[in-house]
Structure 1
């Protein structure tokens, strides 16, 4: 029997028993930890706690089982089996290294070892430890299930701090608690606040638990500027609830208007912020396809105060083609994010083949994410990222064989850009070889040709070809000259009629785009096209310095055409009433009204605030006693959207209304009004009066005696 065949069956029962002992102790503890985490932080924390607990239990069990190896087996056989005669190590030794007596002893031990089974060497069950662990786990689970969650069960009231003196027979607030239940989408736990002032998420449910001494009969929550809210009795306590759909001020009135006025409390409703999306890579908004690239993985980061949805939409716009033959396709695909909910990462992989993206195309991507607000989640869009795949370079067929020219799209060209390129080429002339300089100049000439062709279409297309020399034959129309001649015309019955001659031997151009231009504008545009032709000729010959004057004149003519077009369009306006010629030269002025416009004062929106500010001050318009604040109250409500802190202003206004003689209250309201009123427009500062030296200098330059 080999040593390996003997070790495995004798150690396997012991390892299994040790593994089960450790698992029986660790699994209940992991489950109890998961239940506690579920009660404290929800199902996600429970799953994480159970997973961590089971992993630790497995690692400990495997480590304990690994202790039962060959050394343990030899020690155990020698300790428990007297018939092994302290020679159990011979059973697992290499036979070649044994002497004759050792081999004889090994044969005797091999015959004796089968007298017992391997199960007798396994350790005992840890019944006491397993029982104690199970009992402890059950107690923990029971306490976790029976223990109320934060915000459940009756709240613990805190002593009230209203600062109101006790009046015999008048109830006053002695204990308080404010429970805040945020909306589910925020993921925030329910919490109890010992203060009646709080900042809560918008849409939270508020529950007040109040206690009065002596017991109140009909306490209320007085909403400043709103309807009072009654409280319902629950044993010794009084309870009220409301949804925080907006910020508000309130006070607790325990005695229905009797006794001293309680202080104001403030609830701020914090609105859910819109998600923020930014592009992580690439950093630039425009990037180019590299050689061998077959996919693109733009990366985005989306953050939100309460969490971004796990999935988003990626809008992909493909612009395929060049020049005027561009087709656009748009699609949206769903992408999944990674990372925590408040800071997710989106990195979709876009395969060029699946999208149909190829040379001469642009791909524009934009990520659209939503937050977890319910209902009506908010949406945000990332900046657009553009991936450009330039088209393959093709040879230019303008007589420069072997030269390669990549032509930009037509919408990137302009006459001003041609001038800029020509001037830049002149500055680089000393650093370029003659061939390179000629190629660059010819490339700019090609741009000039394309631009000239685009302007020539407004002249009927006649100027799109190279102009003929004065000595050339007269222009004739024939098939293939680039014009649409229509079907063959049958001979007219008449002879010598001008219209019939034109129809037989020519074709009119009145249906072209040039027919909409007035003769003046057409002539200016014709001059611009001629100057472009001269500029193109010199550029193709490698003389950008000679082409610049023509290019500048072409630009000037184009500007004149644009201005003429604007002047022509501006003349189309409202029709004036007809003039009565019977009243001309008569001197009659009946019915003629004065054309002098009255100077109207500037209407400002903070009139009530300014009036109250003056009344609260120490100037001539100050009022020492009670002030009429109804107009100011209405102004605060109507302008609440633009005021920096309307609640603080309303609270200060209420304090002055209740105690008109309170100096600190008046000063506080006046200070808040100053920050709330519109700022006056800036005026130029007056020049400082000159001093003695300045006066002498001014008199000297005026020619006066010092």
Structure 2
């Protein structure tokens, strides 16, 4: 057997025993520390500590096992086996380095060692340490399990803070505790409050534990504007509970309406706010050369936590000109980070969505919180990814110029107006040549759009409006066409339509042949205004082009609405004018034109009546005022404070401080009056003389 195999054979049992002994010593210590961490910081902290401690225990056990090396084995063999004659080191010496006498001695001790077992060298268990550590760990774990957490176990009652004088024979509150158990989705721990005025999340479970002296008979909690909540006996204490669904006021009544009135206590329900979504990517992004994907980033925050999964709504805009089609889809996305502040950054590959040049991709994140039931859903801001289309040559009008087309949304009339206004703002920062070039580019877009709308007029409006001459392209008798009988109209001087109607006719084969005459006329006005806008833009005068462009947009919208809305085109029916009464001053039969001011219906009647009653030292109606507070609780700044002031006046109608507080709260709670018409100012001396002269009084 070689020296290495001999060494491994003899140290393996000892190393195994050392490794297990170390783990046995570490296990109770680790269990005690984990139980303490679980009690103090919760399950997550306990699991993290257990994993970290387990890894550390394995490292220490391995290091302790490696102490059984060759020197340890030689020492243990010489100490435990006298027959080896302190020559164990010869077993590990290379044969070439020993003398013949040492080789003979090596053979003798090897034969003697074969009669022994490696288990004879195994160290003993640390029984005393193991027993002591396990006992201490058991005590610690039991204490951690049995020790009550905040909000668990029987509550510790605090002295009462009611401040009511002691009355013989009447029970009074001497100790109190209010336990708040928030909803599980909030992740908040249970807690005890020594005070009876608390703020708690909406949906929490409230548990009162009260003690009275002397013993009470049928105590209860009196809810203002609500039903009384009875208390039940639990040993020496009285307990009650309810689920918090709204804010309310209450008082503890130990003596069933006997004795002094207990003070009011207030419970404020804190609603769960909806999540907030913020965009971390700019609102508008342009695709760069070679870009194949987009990663929009959002941040979602919530007071109790945002769900780890959300939905991303993706809208693709495809099309040109005024006709744009949309496609919409939603995909699931996952967030990263803490629950209260998550980040969503999905990677969107263009090929997966069919996104290409000339389109817009609009994304919107839809998140929801962890509220149960009915989680709140919120839609974040929209982010736009714009991919400009490739430059395609397009013919532009009679000039034969080649213009580069822009994406469809740049060639709409509204976008032309926006571009012209933006160019005016940049005028100071641009050179004259650059300014003229940009204005000409917008003019080319206007020319392209004008050509598209001219198609609905048979192309007759493509180009500058024609002058009223006979140079237009008309058809006459003998030109080879079947004209039919001539149509005669009363020509209007200078009107090209009338010249055409008198001497010839036009071959209208356009889609506009089905348009009604009024719509066609409006469309022609829009095209004419576009030509004016184009003319000014190409001359570098966008300020003068804007009026034409705005009128063109107005006519376009009128044409679009004309295909959907049909209104009766009837003028106002005005009474006939009698010219004989003009300049005579005869006012017979003329009605009074003074407008009667109608009063505004207000909902503050009970509040105003109560305020006037307080002002006049009268007693307001608390029932009507309480109903008004409940009906308008949504707009009042603090309805509970107003309810408490009403209750104080109900209990003590002649309390000056209570009345003043209620009056002040009513003044701030009532709606502000709207602006009233100002009376006409009285004329001064000169104005009075002028009016007197008009009435025929002379100067």
TM-score (norm 1): 0.76
Shift of 1:276: 1.4
Pick which of 652-661 and 418-427 moved more. 418-427
State the superposition RMSD in angstroms.
4.7
- Return the offset for 1:169: 0.9
Residue in structure 1 matched with residue 635 of structure 2 by the alignment: 642
SS at match of 1:383: strand
| Deviation for aligned residue 1:259 | 0.9
Q: 1:611 to 1:225 in 2, by over 3 A?
A: same
Which residue of structure 1 aligns with residue 649 of structure 2?
656
Q: Single out whichever of 149-158 and 379-388 deviates more from structure 2.
A: 149-158
* 1:479 corresponds to: none
Alpha carbons 1:91, 1:106 under 8 Å: kept: yes
Deviations 1:374-419 (A, max 9, x none): 1111111221222233333345566999996655632363256358
What is the SS of the residue equivalent to 1:51?
helix
- Alignment check: 8 A CA contact 1:514 1:522 kept: no
CA distance in 1, matches of 2:544, 2:28: 92
Secondary structure at the counterpart of residue 316 of structure 1: strand
For the pair 1:231 / 2:224, whether they are aligned, the reply is: no
Map of 1:178-577 to 2, 5 A cutoff?
Answer: 178-280=178-280, 282=281, 284-323=282-321, 326-395=324-393, 406-407=406-407, 409=409, 410-411=411-412, 413-415=415-417, 417-418=419-420, 421=423, 428-429=430-431, 443-457=441-455, 459-464=457-462, 474=473, 496=484, 506-507=507-508, 511-512=512-513, 515-517=516-518, 521=522, 524-531=525-532, 534=535, 539=538, 544-545=539-540, 551=545, 554-555=548-549, 558=552, 561=555
Distance 1:296 1:405 in 2: 26
CA distance in 2, matches of 1:256, 1:426: 83
Cα pair 2:443 2:534 within 8 Å, conserved: no
Deviating more after overlay: 673-682 vs 341-350: 673-682
Shift of 1:164: 0.9
Query: What is the rounded CA distance, in whole Å, between the counterparts of 1:118 and 1:392 in structure 2?
Result: 84
The C-alpha deviation readout for 1:585-622, integer Å capped at 9, x for no partner, is 9x9999x9866443345555445445544555xxxx44
Structure 1 residue 430 displacement after superposition: 6.2
SS in 2 for 1:462: coil
CA distance in 2, matches of 1:300, 1:59: 43
Whether the 8 Å CA contact 2:389–2:407 is kept in 1: the answer is no
Q: Say whether the 8 Å CA contact 1:418–1:448 is kept in structure 2.
A: no
CA distance in 1, matches of 2:86, 2:264: 90
- Alpha-carbon shift at residue 316 of structure 1 (Å): 1.8
Unpaired runs of at least 5, structure 2: 476-480, 488-500, 678-699
Q: Which moved more, 1:61-70 or 1:379-388?
A: 61-70
Q: Tell me the SS of whatever aligns to 1:372.
A: coil
Q: Unaligned regions of 5+ residues in structure 1, if any?
A: 477-490, 685-706
Query: How many angstroms apart in 2 are the aligned matches of 1:599 and 1:467?
Result: 53
State the Cα deviation string for residues 159-187 of structure 1 (Å, max 9, x = none): 22211111111111122222222222222
Question: SS state of the match for residue 306, structure 1?
Answer: coil
Structure 2 partner of 1:692: none
Q: Give how far 1:264 is off.
A: 0.8
Mark the CA change 1:454 to 1:381 in structure 2 (over 3 Å): closer, same or farther: same
1:34 offset after TM fit, Å?
5.0
Q: Does 1:122 align with 2:131?
A: no
Q: Does the aligned pair in 1 maintain the 2:443–2:535 contact within 8 Å? A: no
SS in 1 for 2:445: helix
Contact 2:151 2:190 in 1 (8 A): yes
1:699 is matched with which residue?
none
Contact kept? 1:455, 1:529, Cα under 8 Å: no
C-alpha contact (below 8 Å) 1:414/1:451 kept by paired residues: no
Q: Report matched runs for 1:681-696 at 5 Å.
A: none
Report the alpha carbon displacement of residue 108 of structure 1 after superposing the two structures with TM.
Answer: 6.4
Partners of 2:404 and 2:218 lie apart in 1 by 93
Matched-pair contact (CA < 8 Å) for 2:534–2:545: no
Asked if structure 2 preserves the Cα contact closer than 8 Å seen for 1:534 and 1:550, the reply is: no
1:217-254 Cα shifts (integer Å, max 9, x gaps) = 22121111222222222333222222211111111111
Question: Alpha-carbon deviations, 1:82-125, whole Å to 9, x = none?
Answer: 56666655655677777888777766666665454333333222
Offset from partner CA, 1:176-223 (integer Å, 9 cap, x none): 222222222222233222221111111112222222211112212111
**Structure 1 residues 44-102: Cα deviation after superposition (integer angstroms, max 9, x where no partner):** 45544443443333333233334334454455445445566666556556777778887
> In the superposition, relative to structure 1, how do residues 224 and 107 fare at CA in structure 2: closer, same or farther (>3 Å)?
same
Aligned residues: 645
Distance 1:551 1:78, change over 3 A: same
Contact 1:175 1:212 in 2 (8 A): yes
Equivalent residue, structure 1, for 2:626: 633
Q: 1:75 to 1:362 in 2, by over 3 A?
A: farther
> What is the CA distance between 1:366 and its match in structure 2?
1.6
Conserved 8 A contact 1:202-1:272? yes
- 1:286-336 Cα offsets, whole Å, 9 max, x none, are 223333333333332222222222221122222345445644222222222
* 2:101 is aligned with 1:131: no
Distance 1:427 1:55, change over 3 A: closer
**Residues 325 and 27 (structure 1), Cα distance of their counterparts in 2 relative to 1, 3 Å cut:** farther
Q: Does 1:677 align with 2:667?
A: no
TM-score by length of 2: 0.77
Matching of residues 167-186 of structure 1 within 5 Å: 167-186=167-186
Alpha-carbon contact 1:531-1:553 (below 8 Å) kept: no
SS in structure 2 of the partner of residue 328 of structure 1 = strand
